[in-house]
């Protein structure tokens, strides 16, 4: 709470410029002065601020509620967290932007959000860069996350907090349940116009949340949301009133629930505009005025439809008929060109989630959802990637290579020169190995080049026909199917390659679980993905197939150490979650061993007996001796 003796200043203007914002303030009848704060500081015209004690750099926005403490404005918000990949710990710092370097990091991360990615434009990145820093009106705050890799801080992700949605049917229905905060002056009996006018701004919206594609699958989204909730409770406000709820609605939530683990509750589906967009456009054509609220959004749709009509040289009335016809038809009736333009006009229903920001809001949300459950079903986690119970029991596996030498002049020269006898060369590649594994086991096969890793893996696949020069002996029947990591088709988008075989719904979920959930990655062909993304796509393909046993040769051999560690981390999660058995072979693996954490390690040695070690034995004994 503000001390009555504190001098307060009214904010007259707020003008962003680069990485900072100039605010003009005036105390009483004094001459206005300008102070500089960070770019997304939550302060604007009409707010009231005060300064901290002499010598401090603290500035506060005066709280409108006497029971609430004043709202910190400076110094900027910053919080630290950690990300674990195997035994290695990486520092994660989530903070407000306060430098040109921070703004460049934001621009870098914005390219991974579909609304600010120009990959579908012929213009180069330097020619056209649509930045979130100027794309949204109203109050907003941006927090960026950086991860420390080695001695460098690398942009990891960002979250964009914005003012709440004006109209939202699922929230309107839910908030018709009476609310009365015991400690704050926030209460309503029904969510009518009066309640909306008084309390809409007690909600803060997640406009965007983006994580760098190469770092997905590490829980960074959850950590950013955690920081954003802390920031919202401490610093977000509209007119000096802090929020009690955080909301999010997004297209991706139709396929992947990435917010429930952070405390968000599913409330329902937004209405979209399919039922009214044609009427809205007709109204706008008759009275094209208004630049605020929903009207400004309708004007945006109106201009998009006008552009469409000009492009195909038809009248606006004919364009309305096209729009009406396409809405009535199946979504597949849209050509790619029509979809590219009309998607900016047509809004389909999307999931809407709410998160409470204090204890009472949490109790209210629980009670309200019980009294007014969502009309549409929540997206449920599916277990279709699980496999049946599988046991592998192979005894005395031996593989011998035999090569009958050709009777040629060159061969005879070598035989005579070194006194060699015989006509067949024999090599024992694998000698008397017993293999036992069950669901969720990860077997890492190691050894120098030529030790027989690839031959051993081939012998484990019941569907493989081995080279005619190889003789295999074993006791035990291979009663399972085996799947190998394999490249996807390169002539069509990755998502299409999976969706046409396994359905779009399953493809979405599998790609997400493999750590590949970037919109632009979905529509790129396999060859356009980074090598790390290609591994994730191949992992999704494995998940979608029905094989109980995965066989991966030369795993991560062409990835940098950090990407290999992340891919191994994600692979381990999926093997355990789906109940697969995995045999993974690699000559170079020490950089991701702790992230993979195999159940057992099989060491193959040329000309010697193979050895089974536990992960701990291999890590603590063999690797330490070798190192």
How does DSSP assign 190-215, residue by residue? S-SHHHHHHHGGGEEEEEEEEE-GGG
- What pLDDT band is residue 217 in, cutting at 50, 70 and 90? confident
Over range 426-430, report the average pLDDT.
Answer: 83
Q: Residue 129: pLDDT above 80?
A: no
Residue 465, burial from CB neighbour count under 10 angstroms (0-12, 13-18, 19+): exposed
Contact 567, 532 (CB under 8 A): yes
Q: Residue 494: pLDDT above 50?
A: yes
Q: Residue 382: pLDDT above 60?
A: no
* CA angle, residues 151, 152, 153, in degrees to nearest 5: 130
pLDDT, tens only, 180-210: 999 999 999 999 999 999 999 999 999 999 9
- What pLDDT band is residue 293 in, cutting at 50, 70 and 90? very low
pLDDT recorded at residue 467: 76
Using CA atoms, how far residue 422 sits from 147, 377, 413, 415, 470, in Å, is 62, 74, 14, 9, 19
Q: Residue 515: pLDDT above 90?
A: no
User: How far apart, in whole angstroms, are the C-alpha atoms of residue 473 and residue 450?
Assistant: 20
pLDDT recorded at residue 120: 52
Q: Residue 258: pLDDT above 60?
A: yes
Over range 601-611, report the average pLDDT.
Answer: 86
Over range 387-395, report the average pLDDT.
Answer: 89
> What are the tokens at 10?
């009214």
* DSSP summary character for residue 313: T
Over range 272-293, report the average pLDDT.
Answer: 65
Please report, for the chain, the start and end positions of each structural domain, with discontinuous segments joined by +: 8-74, 78-271+350-371, 277-342, 382-481+546-627
pLDDT, tens only, 78-117: 999 999 988 889 999 999 999 999 999 999 999 887 666 5
pLDDT recorded at residue 137: 57
- Find out if CATH 3.40.190.100 is the number for domain 78-271+350-371: no
Q: Residue 133: pLDDT above 70?
A: no
User: What are the DSSP E strand ranges found in 480-558?
Assistant: 482-484, 549-552
Q: Residue 328: pLDDT above 70?
A: no
Over range 593-605, report the average pLDDT.
Answer: 93
Q: Residue 371: pLDDT above 60?
A: yes
Nearest Cα neighbor of 612 from 597, 600, 599, 624 is: 600
As its CATH architecture, domain 382-481+546-627 has: 3-Layer(aba) Sandwich (3.40)
């Amino acid at each position: 709470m503000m001390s009555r003796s504190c001098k307060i200043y009214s904010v007259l203007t707020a003008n962003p410029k680069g990485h900072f914002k100039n605010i003009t303030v005036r105390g009483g009848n004094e001459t206005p002065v300008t102070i500089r704060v960070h770019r997304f500081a939550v302060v604007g015209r009409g707010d009231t601020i005060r300064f901290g004690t002499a010598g401090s750099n603290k500035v506060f926005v005066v709280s409108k509620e006497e029971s609430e403490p004043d709202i910190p404005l400076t110094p900027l918000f910053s919080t630290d967290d950690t990300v674990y990949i195997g035994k290695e710990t990486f520092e994660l710092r989530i903070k407000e932007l306060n430098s040109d370097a921070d703004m460049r990091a934001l621009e870098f991360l914005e390219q991974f959000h579909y609304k600010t990615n120009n990959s579908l434009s012929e213009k180069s990145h330097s020619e056209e860069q649509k930045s979130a820093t100027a794309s949204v009106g109203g109050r907003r705050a941006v927090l960026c996350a950086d991860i420390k890799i080695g001695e460098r801080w690398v942009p990891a992700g960002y979250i964009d907090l914005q003012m709440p949605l004006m109209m939202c049917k699922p929230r309107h229905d839910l908030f018709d349940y009476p609310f009365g905060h015991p400690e704050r002056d926030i209460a309503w009996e029904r969510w009518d116009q009066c309640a909306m006018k008084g309390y809409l701004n007690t909600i803060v919206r997640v406009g965007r949340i983006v994580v760098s594609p190469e770092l997905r699958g590490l829980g960074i989204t959850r950590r950013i949301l955690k920081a954003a909730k802390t920031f919202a409770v401490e610093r977000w406000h509209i007119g000096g009133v802090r929020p009690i709820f955080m909301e999010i609605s997004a297209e991706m939530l139709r396929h992947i629930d990435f917010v429930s683990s952070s405390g968000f509750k599913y409330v329902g589906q937004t209405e979209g505009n399919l039922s009214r967009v044609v009427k809205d456009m007709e109204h706008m054509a008759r009275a094209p005025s208004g630049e605020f609220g929903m009207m400004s959004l309708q004007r945006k749709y109106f201009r998009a439809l006008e552009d469409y009509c000009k492009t195909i040289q038809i009248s606006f009335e004919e364009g309305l008929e096209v729009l009406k016809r396409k809405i009535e038809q199946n979504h597949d009736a849209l050509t790619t060109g029509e979809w590219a333009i009309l998607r900016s006009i047509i809004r389909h229903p999307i999931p809407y989630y709410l998160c409470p920001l204090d204890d009472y809001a949490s109790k209210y949300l629980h009670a309200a959802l019980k009294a007014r459950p969502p009309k549409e079903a929540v997206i449920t986690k599916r277990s279709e990637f699980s496999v049946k119970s599988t046991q592998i029991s192979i005894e005395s596996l031996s593989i011998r290579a035999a090569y009958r030498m050709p009777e040629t002049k060159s061969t005879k020269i070598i035989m005579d020169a070194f006194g060699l006898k015989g006509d067949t060369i024999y090599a024992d590649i694998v000698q008397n190995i017993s293999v036992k594994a069950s669901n969720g086991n990860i077997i890492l096969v190691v050894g120098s080049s030529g030790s027989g890793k690839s031959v051993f893996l081939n012998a484990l696949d019941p569907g493989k026909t081995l080279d005619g020069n190889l003789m295999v002996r074993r006791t035990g029947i291979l009663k399972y199917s085996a799947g190998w990591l394999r490249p996807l088709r390169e002539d069509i988008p990755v998502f299409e390659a999976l969706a046409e075989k396994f359905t779009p719904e399953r493809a979405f979920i599998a790609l997400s679980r493999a750590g590949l959930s970037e919109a632009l990655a979905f529509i790129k062909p396999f060859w356009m993905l980074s090598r790390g993304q290609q591994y994730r796509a191949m992992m999704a393909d494995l998940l979608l197939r029905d094989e109980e046993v995965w066989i991966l040769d030369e795993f991560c051999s062409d990835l940098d150490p950090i990407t290999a560690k992340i891919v191994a981390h994600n692979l381990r999660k999926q093997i355990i979650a789906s109940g697969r058995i995995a045999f993974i072979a690699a000559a170079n693996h020490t950089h991701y061993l702790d992230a993979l954490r195999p159940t057992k390690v099989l060491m193959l040695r040329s000309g010697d007996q193979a050895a089974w070690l536990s992960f701990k034995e291999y890590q603590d004994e063999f690797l330490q001796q070798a190192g």
